[in-house]
Structure 1
């Protein structure tokens, strides 16, 4: 890496999962739009051909008139070659195929267990973790060997366990997990100020929040705008929209299962007095089936169950558009994705220190949770440094909900590393969504493990 006139050049980024049709486009656009950074993105994917396609797309963007910087993209056939010499590592993969995802999400429905997402907790999230953790063991070992000083950005779910595995295998790794759910809640607070106070022209940075919790089950106990406490206003906002919900586009939840009317978020505020800071689809999976008892209950709370067939259809549509980009029939639109990887890069390089929420092992920044467990709080980015910001402690009634998942995640990690089916089942049956009797729970668990057995090497199934 080189520095000159407040700019950094020759930055080396290894991108694991570099054949993506989704996040890769965002990264290519975000990097091209920043004039202070330039360098090389080293693409690695199990499907080398897909990485070659992103090599072509990324390099073509450098010729765009609107591109503010030049980045070179190159596909590598081995992880070792991609990592060697890298300053930063991005990991964004799909652990498994749509077939395994279908089992994660829809097999539990046969037993009356509904999951709006199924990638973080619940039966689906836990089984997904069992097949993802071995992949992250390999990543951590490779990073330790070929890029031990690199900063590692993780974007894969289950976020907490992916990040936790990296540190378990390579304790000195410099890794953190990135999630945009908090940004959505800051956006909701901006819309609240617009709706109740008529305040326009707000940016997310104007809303200061203190974040506590674990990924997708995060909470805000302080929120301010120009040093004014937003909680009294949020209480009015919740009271005003509790029944009908509040969306950016009214009733979008009816046709788009990736959206919600925030009624779950509002209900949790009434129950606990804190702002639940993830999307309703995620939040609903961390508590007993208050909001997910059946499809009718889900509709009453105004969010959707995102089916895997709908994801497959979305994937096909994305692939068609992506192929047009690769073929040159269409041009990649350069617009900011809303992710923070560029600001985080600039923070770690020392160009733009700032504070944002990330997932890191607990070293005391969050009280009431075991040390080493991965938690999501604010952290300060500065030159080659990432320091967690002291977040405090959740109220006992909220922390008890969070701790159930923290301990379950630790159990799943241990089970995956030891290939211990009995231990994995103990976490599975302890999940708050698994309210069925022990016999059916064992049957469901065996079926789901069988459906993902191709990724469970060395297990006695």
Structure 2
């Protein structure tokens, strides 16, 4: 087979390498072309060196090109994969820093909440540019695989306004299933059979079987509470499991941002999170992790390049959906996964226009979703709160309506539990002004926002958050990795 895959945001080096090696685990894909594109020439050349080394070491005919010209990369592409972060770590830092001034403590801030909504405002105009290029220069009928957050908003915009065949992809379901398999004592996650349905980052294991035996709430609660690690790291998820009756796919830190109950007071935050790793609820945890990862890669690039000389091992193919979807579409070998698409009745008690994450099967005829799923009422209510915020956020991003943007942020569950309307109005003004260079749709609104900020009487505070950690130096990271290696 010979076709072209374009990867936008290919400078996300580690993830691009994973996608690349996964796809080349499919024997039929040896002759394809990968076209890498990114705004950073520096990052682009680093990832190209790594991928070229993989191709050479494995004696493959695979072609790898790299360009900062996006349209050139997309020309003739059958598949386009996006893993972009518009505004980079600079804008992301504002997504965490500014809401903290108003008492809003986020762990990740990339899905909803104040940070996720502004992230969507930056991404959506760019997503629509991608879609325009796909329509104009990619192979007719090209499929757009979106890995970028905020997943639901980006996918919503691409389908509704970009008019491109789009699927959103995430790995939260797979990670949740791995946890469940471990606590239940399964030898492999393949012993589980499950239906997981909801919206991205709020997907629920609504039906769960181990080797054909149905697993109920009480057994699952007992298994998690008995686990020596997860009982501490996933306290909030376990509490939600007890109250809702089903387990959520999303990490302890992520889930805490989508619910109005666990992260609204500093003493509550520290009660429900775990500081053993950022993903369990640390204030700005993913920002710290991302910063350290970038610094580590920059410093240790020769080590990453040397590791690329190892042969590709199909047995180590990851459970990221992309390679499996491409394999199913191109070869007809059926793949079952969980995909983000417009609902259109797939989940009976969520709106038709929402982007849902639910089971589906892929073959040469496309992605075919399992329809007629009804999720528990409490799960639907929680999802609905986010869907309403997502819908307003998408419409605000398309229209450049700053008043609608403020209403979207006001209706966010965590923001509403912490901040007053006056605080929200000022916070959004401050965020839009700080990120104006990435928000072209709000250009006309920025001058008035600056005037309001100059006259504002709303008080703020400089607050690091309830559980903030400093970014570690390269030497500290080296020492920690060495200690872990010695312990093993």
* TM norm. shorter chain > 0.5: yes
1:57 alignment counterpart: 50
Using the alignment, how far apart are the partners of 1:412 and 1:400 within structure 2?
A: 19
Q: Distance in 1 between matches of 2:111 and 2:253?
A: 11
Deviation sequence 1:158-201 (CA, Å, 0-9, x none): 00111111112233x2210111001111101211221xxxx42x
Match of 2:218 in 1: 235
Q: Do residues 280 (structure 1) and 252 (structure 2) align?
A: yes
Query: How many Å separate the matches in 2 of 1:239 and 1:218?
Result: 21
Q: Pick from 238, 247, 269 the counterpart of residue 229 of structure 2.
A: 247
Identify which range, 310-319 or 279-288, moves more after superposition.
Answer: 310-319
Question: Which of the residues 16, 30, 39 maps onto 1:24?
Answer: 16
Asked if structure 1 preserves the Cα contact closer than 8 Å seen for 2:117 and 2:393, the reply is yes
Quote how far apart the aligned CAs of 1:155 are.
Answer: 0.5
User: How many angstroms apart in 2 are the aligned matches of 1:70 and 1:292?
Assistant: 54
Quote the Cα distance in structure 2 between the aligned partners of 1:287 and 1:332.
44
Deviation at 1:292, TM superposition (A): 5.3
1:403 aligns with 2:384: yes
**Secondary structure of 1:379 counterpart:** strand
Matched, 1:189 2:180: yes
Q: What is the match of residue 304 of structure 1?
A: 281
1:127 corresponds to which residue? 118
Conserved 8 A contact 2:108-2:287:
no
C-alpha distance in 2, partners of 1:422/1:228?
Answer: 51
Q: Distance in 1 between matches of 2:373 and 2:307?
A: 52
For structure 2, which runs of at least 5 residues remain unmatched after alignment?
Answer: 275-279, 447-488
Look up the match of 2:434: 451
Following superposition, the deviation at residue 212 of structure 1 comes to: 1.6
Partner of 2:427, secondary structure, is: helix
d(CA) in 1 for partners of 2:99 and 2:302? 35
Give the CA deviation at 1:307. Answer: 5.7
Does the CA contact (< 8 Å) of 1:153 and 1:176 recur in 2?
Answer: yes
CA distance in 2, matches of 1:419, 1:245: 48
TM-score by length of structure 2 reads: 0.82
Give SS of 1:285's match. Answer: helix
- Structure having the higher strand fraction is 1
Aligned to 2:373: 392
Provide the rounded CA distance (Å) in 1 between the counterparts of 2:393 and 2:302: 38
CA positional deviation for 1:356: 0.5
- Secondary structure of 2:72's aligned partner: helix
What is the SS of the residue equivalent to 1:119? Answer: coil
Structure 1 pair 47–301 and aligned structure 2 pair: CA distance change class (3 A): closer
The equivalent residue for 2:317 is 336
Query: Which SS does the other structure have where 1:393 is aligned?
Result: coil
User: CA offsets, 1:304-358, max 9 Å, x none?
Assistant: 31063453223101222235445x5974685434323221111111342121001
CA distance in 2 between counterparts of 1:347 and 1:310 reads 34
1:126, distance to aligned residue in structure 2 (A):
0.6
Task: Report the Cα distance in structure 2 between the residues aligned to 1:432 and 1:347, rounded to whole angstroms.
Answer: 38
SS of 2:13's equivalent in the other structure is coil
Cα distance change of structure 1 residues 428 and 387 upon mapping to structure 2, 3 Å threshold: same
1:230 Cα deviation after fit: 1.7
Q: Pairwise mapping of residues 47-446 of structure 1 onto structure 2 (< 5 A)?
A: 47-65=40-58, 70-147=61-138, 148-171=140-163, 173-194=164-185, 199-200=186-187, 202=188, 204-231=189-216, 235-239=218-222, 241-242=224-225, 247=229, 261-291=233-263, 293-294=265-266, 297-302=269-274, 303-305=280-282, 306=285, 308-326=287-305, 331=309, 334=312, 335-390=316-371, 392-434=373-415, 435-446=418-429
Instruction: Deviation per CA, 1:15-39: give whole Å up to 9, x if none.
Output: 1112222211212322343333221
| Cα distance in structure 1, aligned partners of 2:110 and 2:64 | 30
Q: 1:53 to 1:395 in 2, by over 3 A?
A: same
The answer for the alignment partner of 2:473 in structure 1 is none
- In the other structure, the counterpart of 2:36 is 43
Q: CA deviation at 1:49?
A: 4.2
Query: 1:407-439 deviations in whole A, cap 9, x for unaligned?
Result: 111111111111000000001011111121222
2:332 and 2:228 map into 1 onto residues whose CA distance is: 38
Kindly state the Cα deviation for residue 393 of structure 1 after the two structures are TM-superposed.
1.8
The question of whether the paired residues in 1 share the 8 Å contact of 2:54 and 2:311 is answered with no
Structure 1 residues 106 and 246: alpha-carbon distance in aligned structure 2, compared to 1, 3 A threshold: farther
Q: 1:59 to 1:372 in 2, by over 3 A?
A: same
Q: CA RMSD in A?
A: 2.3
Give the match's secondary structure for 2:292: helix
The unaligned stretches of length 5 or more in structure 1 are 1-8, 252-260
Higher alpha-carbon deviation: 404-413 or 108-117: 108-117
TM-score norm. by structure 1 comes to: 0.87
Bigger helix share = 2
